[in-house]
Amino acid sequence: MSLNSHMNVLDFTLLSLLRRKFKNFGIVLVFTLIVFITGSILFLSYSFKREALLILKGSPELIVQRMSAGRQELIPVDRAKEISALPGVSGVEPRYWGYYYDLLVKANYTILASSGSLSAGNRLLQGRLPGPEEKGVAAVGRGVAKARFIDIGSTISLVSSAGDAMDFDVVGIFESDSELLTADLIVLGRPDVIRLFRMPPYMATDLAVTVRNETEAPVIAGKVRSRFPDTRPILRKEIIRTYDAVFGWRSGLILTLFAGALVAFIILAWDKATGLSAEEKKEIGILKAIGWETSDIIEMKFWEGLVISLSSFLLGIILAYVHVYFFGASVFAPALKGWSVIYPDFRLAPFIDPYQIAMLMALTVIPYIASTIIPSWKAAITDPDEVVRG
């Protein structure tokens, strides 16, 4: 068959689709919605995962936390000496951090003790970090700054566990590009964190362990665990794996939303595959009667499936991209934010996995075309007279 005859069949198919425009536009709408939801989830989860993995590459190789009665407890700082004596450990540094609920704006902050200064060329901090032993100063995340209307030079007041008001001069504000990491952070000097949380002397929240060779980290974690059975070592690999799972295919929100979309699509495809309407059967019968071959009818049905599924796929994937990367996934954002008052704007970098797009296309376009062709082929090989009479 020449190209022109294929175009003629396509012309006929498009006219036939337009004759049943309400039904077909309905299918395109539902199909586009399914691709949009699934595509948005794929874009969102993949970008989150890639960003998290890139950002968390610099996390400590090993975190040692103390457990008591099934809950995390403060850890004695003197354990750092014993851990640093283990072969392969290059340094142990206590971390002082905790959560703070701000009654004023009903938001949770993460309070963290400073343990050094950022590199000179770091563009993500306006101002500076407090020194590790400095008192009365703070660097805050953009989310905290917005919620408390503060800028560099302002004062932020927090209430300590002892009930005293503690004022801090804001010397640094993290830029909005770092929101995914710092939105709710307040960085203080170590003495201020200890006073704010009324931590007992010589106790820290946990210990950050640096190892010379990361492949040895699990062995060191095992040694720490056998030396201190009440501790829980968390490896950087486990942290990364957690994010892989949180934003992976099989995870909570992703699974829930995707399962709903998948079920809806299966119902749609099943409805198409289980049979043709009386009108469609009659159309096939008439076409056969006027001289169309079975192969022509199959081609027409192939075009029909392709027009609907390809149009829906292209529209759905474009809408998903625009939704996630230009509108910050505004449809899913309320679910992701949950009860949070301070949350980052989801201005994600558009990391695209071509394999996922290809999979989505293979899972939507091909089954739909198949489900359109198979019942038509059955009708096309039946005697036209029988088909038209029903």
Partner 1 sequence: MRKSLVFGLFVLGCVLFLAALGATSHVRVSHFLAVSRDLGDITATLKLTDISFSDDARYTRNPSQADIFSAFQDYPGSIEHFPSGSVTPPPDFTSLGAAMKVRGQ
Beta carbon of residue 46, minimum distance to partner 1 (angstroms, whole number)? 12
**Interaction with partner 1 in 98-137: which residues (CB under 8 A)?**
99, 105-108, 110, 112, 114-119, 121-125, 129
DSSP state of 65: E
Q: Which of 130, 141, 172, 285 binds partner 1 (CB under 8 A)?
A: 141
Q: Which two tokens stand for residue 133?
A: 């032993």
Of the pair 212, 337, the CB lying nearest partner 1 is at 337
Give me the amino acid identity at 329. Answer: A
Q: In this chain, which of 5, 157, 213, 242 binds partner 1, going by CB under 8 A?
A: 242
Q: What is the DSSP string of 9-33?
A: HHHHHHHHHHHTHHHHHHHHHHHHH
CB nearer to partner 1: pick between 194 and 314 = 314
Convert 200-230 to b/e letters by CB count within 10 Å (16 or more is b): eeebbbbbbbebeeeebbeebbebbeeebee
The residue among 228 and 343 lying less far from partner 1, judged by its C-beta, is: 343
| Least spacing, CB of residue 207 vs partner 1, in Å | 10
**Least Å distance between CB 389 and partner 1?**
31
From the list 42, 170, 188, 208, which residue makes contact with partner 1 (rule: CB under 8 A)?
208
In three-state secondary structure terms, 89 is strand
* C-beta of 143 vs 285, nearer to partner 1: 143
**Footprint (CB under 8 A) of partner 1, residues 144-163:** 146-147, 149
Q: How far apart are CA 14 and CA 280, in angstroms?
A: 14
Report the nearest approach of partner 1 to the CB of residue 322 (Å).
8
Burial pattern 287-309, b for ≥16 Cβ within 10 A else e, equals: bbeeebeeebbbbbbbbbbbbbb
Which residues from 168-197 bind partner 1, rule CB under 8 A? 174, 177-185, 187
Return the residues of window 251-270 that contact partner 1 according to CB under 8 A.
251-252
Judged by CB under 8 A, the number of residues near partner 1 is: 92
In whole angstroms, how close is the CB of 62 to partner 1 at the nearest point?
11
DSSP string, 36-52: HHHHHHHHHHHHHHHHH
Assign 209 to helix, strand or coil. Answer: strand
| 3-state secondary structure at position 139 | strand
| Nearest partner of 193 among 137, 146, 231, 155, judged by Cα | 137
Please state whether beta strands 165-174 and 125-127 pair in parallel, antiparallel, or not at all (unpaired).
antiparallel
Interatomic CA distance for residues 101 and 20, integer angstroms: 59
Which of the residues 20 through 49 are near partner 1 (CB under 8 A)?
A: 48
Least CB distance from residue 170 to partner 1, whole Å? 16
- Binding test (CB under 8 A) with partner 1, winner from 30, 219, 352, 388: 352
Q: Residue 160 or 210: which CB sits closer to partner 1?
A: 210
| Residue number, 129 or 221, with CB nearest to partner 1 | 129
Q: Kindly tell me which of 103 and 278 has the beta carbon lying closer to partner 1.
A: 103
d(CA 350, CA 244): 17
Residue 113: CB minimum distance to partner 1, A = 9
Query: Whole-number minimum distance, CB 386 to partner 1, in Å?
Result: 31
CB-based contact 210:84 (threshold 8 Å): no
Q: Of 266, 272, 267, which is closest to residue 376 (Cα–Cα)?
A: 272
288-347 positions binding partner 1, by CB under 8 A: 307, 310-311, 314-315, 317-318, 321-322, 325, 336-344
Q: What is the three-class DSSP state of 173?
A: strand
Indicate the residue among 36 and 325 with the shorter CB distance to partner 1: 325
**Helix (H, G, I), strand (E, B), or coil: what is residue 236?**
helix
Distance of closest approach, residue 388 Cβ to partner 1, in angstroms: 26
8 A C-beta contact, residue 236 and residue 59: yes
User: Among residues 228 and 351, whose Cβ is nearest to partner 1?
Assistant: 351
Token pair for 191: 């003495």
Minimum CB distance to partner 1, residue 67 (Å): 8
Exposure string (b/e) for 7-24, b if CB count within 10 Å is 16 or more?
Answer: eebbeebeebbeeeeeeb
Considering only 11-19, 77-85, 153-161, 360-368, which stretch makes contact with partner 1 by CB under 8 A? Answer: 11-19
What is the footprint of partner 1 within residues 353-382 (CB under 8 A)? Answer: none
